[in-house]
Chains A and B, each alone.
Chain A
Amino acid sequence: MSPLPQPPDAMPDAALLVAYANGDPEAARLLAARVLPRVLGQATRMLQDRAEAEDVAQEAMLRLWRIAPDWRQGEAQVTTWLFRVVANLCTDRLRRRKRTGVGLDQIAEPVDQTPGAAAGLQTAARLRALSDALAELPERQAQAVALRHLEGLSNPEIAVIMDISPRAVESLTARGKRALAAILAGRRDALGYDDDGSTDG
């Protein structure tokens, strides 16, 4: 598999998508090179499961290819659309995870296998616990919290992605963050926070 080419920065994502829809054989490679790392990153940060994140990334890109012939330039940003699709696909996965009860102890491998095994495993376990805690939140809260605190987006950006007002985003993220803190507080021992001297928030 040859590496993905680096697209020229001047060409907007939407123009590449339209070129793809018009049959340009190179457009898909250029667009994937630009957006796939971001899509996979968002899914990974939310799910903390490499295989699930890759499935979500593939599904999000598939939906992008399918919508290409109907894409209207100027109406939406490709990145905004992808943020929304990935957030929705991830909350679907989290809901399924919660329903089927796939928990932390059933995960074979951590996502982040950094050297220094013990510390790496503990970090991975905590990140997975964060993801599991997101699964406990109402979907909109989980999406708003993830976009704000995992993606680092601003409230107005999240408002566009979620099609709600910035004030509603503020409310969702505040309530979601409080709920997450409460859920994780109940797992401090299991996650080793008391071993490494972390302070309670």
Chain B
Amino acid sequence: MDDLDTLFATARTQFPPPGDDLVARVLADAAAQQPGPAIPRRHRSRGAGWLQDLLGGWPALTGVIAAGLAGLWIGAAPPAGVEGLAAELVGTTQTVTFLPETDVTLFEDPTDG
């Protein structure tokens, strides 16, 4: 083992400096592999980009639009049974008159009929 330990000790003294050619090759590789400088993403100011980002992209945005249109349609022309269903769910239905008859008469034209 003495020979081996001597060999190990000799090898440990080897510190060859990198030659110019190796340095050039290494730096050329580095330049070729280097990513470009980080460029911040431009702020999108046109259209509904901010809303799209907020909701999570086009699929979510189209879902929201579809739900809105469906709600509008149901409100304008409720399918048969919706009113009955609402009454069952809420329990009672109430009618609220914003213009009682007595008040309405105040605005009636006395010259009419």
Interface status of A159 (Cβ within 8 A of chain B) = no
Q: Which of B17-25, B41-49, B71-79, B82-90 contacts A (4 or more CB under 8 A)?
A: B17-25
User: Hey, what's the 0/1 contact readout for B1-29 against A, CB within 8 Å counting as 1?
Assistant: 11111111011101111111111111101
Q: Say what secondary structure dominates the interface of chain A.
A: helix
Cβ 8 A contact of B4, one of A20, A23, A45, A201: A201
Tell me if A58 and B12 are in contact (CB < 8 A).
no
Closest to A112 in B: B14
Report how far A188 CA is from B2 CA in the complex, Å: 12
Cβ 8 A contact of A45, one of B14, B18, B34: B14
Tell me if A23 and B36 are in contact (CB < 8 A).
yes
CB within 8 Å of B: which of A47-95?
48, 50, 53-54, 57-58, 61-62, 65-66, 68-69
Interface status of B38 (Cβ within 8 A of chain A) = yes
Least CB distance from A19 to B in Å reads 11
Interface status of B31 (Cβ within 8 A of chain A) = yes
Tell me if A40 and B22 are in contact (CB < 8 A).
yes
Tell me if B30 and A50 are in contact (CB < 8 A).
no
Cβ 8 A contact of B37, one of A22, A29, A36, A199: A22
Tell me if B38 and A22 are in contact (CB < 8 A).
yes
Closest to A130 in B: B7
* A32-B26, A41-B16, A127-B10 given; A66·B33 CB < 8 A: yes
Q: Say what secondary structure dominates the interface of chain B.
A: helix
* A58-B22, A126-B7 given; A152·B1 CB < 8 A: no
Number of interface residues of B (CB under 8 A): 34
Number of interface residues of A (CB under 8 A): 48
Cβ 8 A contact of A23, one of B5, B6, B11, B34: B34
* A23-B38, A28-B34, A69-B35 given; A181·B4 CB < 8 A: yes
Tell me if B12 and A201 are in contact (CB < 8 A).
no
Among B11, B15, B33, B34, residue most surrounded by chain A Cβ atoms (within 10 Å): B11
Interface of B toward A, CB cutoff 8 Å: 1-8, 10-12, 14-27, 29-31, 33-38
Other contacts beyond A1-B21, A22-B38, A32-B26: 14, CB < 8 A: A22-B37, A23-B34, A28-B31, A32-B23, A32-B27, A36-B26, A41-B16, A123-B10, A149-B8, A149-B12, A177-B4, A193-B3, A198-B6, A201-B4
Interface of A toward B, CB cutoff 8 Å: 1, 4, 20-23, 25, 28-29, 32, 36-37, 40-41, 44-45, 48, 50, 53-54, 57-58, 61-62, 65-66, 68-69, 111-112, 123, 126-127, 130, 149-152, 177, 180-181, 184, 188, 193, 198-201
